[in-house]
Structure 1
């Protein structure tokens, strides 16, 4: 599975094209997104030289596109002349139905679950072969976790990812299972033969539990599916807690119940609310 760089909350390098010249006939829009993808949690501010290098674009091309993006508010210039993401992108992203729309409906329920657990409560949707974290509520003293809002999560190595993969269309599952993944850790990178029965168990139980190391502590996630009015899984709700602090499985009933409550709320929303 590809690395989710450029804005995923991990330390992986962003996706780069080979060479230093744009592909023949490559649309300007594609190059603009290559520039925008250079920014991430570890690189919120970049010089023009860094932008050109990270996007593998000629410096003159990077400058021209960066100026155009700045004129539209997608980028902003700092006092030192460097570039950073502009508020215009936040304004546009705020109306994304699967992000803000879903979040607006789910947030009151997420808050109730957060107050009850005092842990990390996450709302995740699937985008292609990865999950995207669209909301996270965290207690002040909760253990630090890897993923930030807007970051990408592996489908096979997180509880919400397993839920989203288990209830994804069959072709999506087959494509994912057929894809090459690292195998250094059989638990975090399972084979297709070991992942198939696990997904079947998630579909049967309608929840997933997954533990993985995060820095110096093991964290366990419990997740359940959220459905739309057409009974299609559109998101996963999860609670993440330190594996040794308590029994994470005690959160299963609450996570399942709140996910069902959000599902019921989704069914009562106007048809256009999430379109």
Structure 2
């Protein structure tokens, strides 16, 4: 991006670019790194970052770095879809964790990524890349496969038409294989991801539906590939997802009465 193009952008696009520069692999960035990642002149990046720090959207770290500030989390907590869904799902997720002692995730689709609304894990659970508020790819995760299977046709076509990153040698990236896999997810109501994002991990996921029957989220358990029988775990995950779906339906019905 040229300096002229950067100057032609709106203030909003510049601010969102600065915030989007942060991610799971880059939770802390220097001003120079923010300027390089966003294409903004250093002076512009400095001015906007200073304003974001004063507002609370960014925080200064020790040294020369910046990180996302608590103000962003406060605003995020006001999003009704995420919090109401999380409130309904959390008791069921806790039960699922108690029965498995493995990672339990709740995720929704945000464009072509899975956004993790919540995660429960313990000291003995497999170390995974997920985190609350983080995003991971749809095609390489259990929750992502579920969300992609029920995504609009145009989004699925757009994703499969692009070049999908391969994270391990097991990652499925061929459009034809992914299309067949998504058909199977819609047929069985369950998705598996074998070592596709992290070597040694197995994800088993199921859809969560609202009162209208639309898939609005996905639930999964992630464990070591040697941690148990996938078919038995699939039954537990699917039962938990159905329980959350029923709770969502009951809450929505109660709100209308």
What's the TM-score once normalised by structure 1's chain length? 0.84
1:94 shift after superposition: 0.8
Q: Which residue of 1 aligns with 2:141?
A: 158
SS of 1:244's equivalent? coil
Using the alignment, how far apart are the partners of 1:257 and 1:200 within structure 2?
A: 21
Q: Which residue of 2 aligns with 1:143?
A: 126
Gaps of at least 5 residues in structure 2 are none
Using the alignment, how far apart are the partners of 1:39 and 1:130 within structure 2?
A: 15
1:187 shift after superposition: 4.4
- 2:81 is the counterpart of 1:93: no
What is the root-mean-square deviation in Å for CA atoms of aligned residues? 2.4
1:256 shift after superposition: 0.6
Between the two proteins, the alignment pairs up a number of residues equal to 255
Cα distance 1:157–1:81, how it changes in 2: closer, same or farther (>3 A)?
Answer: closer
What does 1:172-191 align with in structure 2 at a 5 Å threshold? 172-182=155-165, 187-191=170-174
Using the alignment, how far apart are the partners of 1:213 and 1:177 within structure 2?
A: 16
1:246 shift after superposition: 2.0
Select the residue among 40, 47, 51 that pairs with 1:57.
40
Q: Which residue of 1 aligns with 2:57?
A: 74
1:174 shift after superposition: 2.1
- 2:108 is the counterpart of 1:125: yes
Using the alignment, how far apart are the partners of 1:21 and 1:137 within structure 2?
A: 46
Q: Which residue of 1 aligns with 2:221?
A: 239
Select the residue among 211, 236, 242 that pairs with 1:229.
211
Gaps of at least 5 residues in structure 1 are 1-17
Using the alignment, how far apart are the partners of 2:202 and 2:75 within structure 1?
A: 34
Using the alignment, how far apart are the partners of 2:130 and 2:239 within structure 1?
A: 24
Whether the 8 Å CA contact 1:95–1:101 is kept in 2: the answer is: no
Using the alignment, how far apart are the partners of 2:254 and 2:163 within structure 1?
A: 38
- 2:251 is the counterpart of 1:251: no
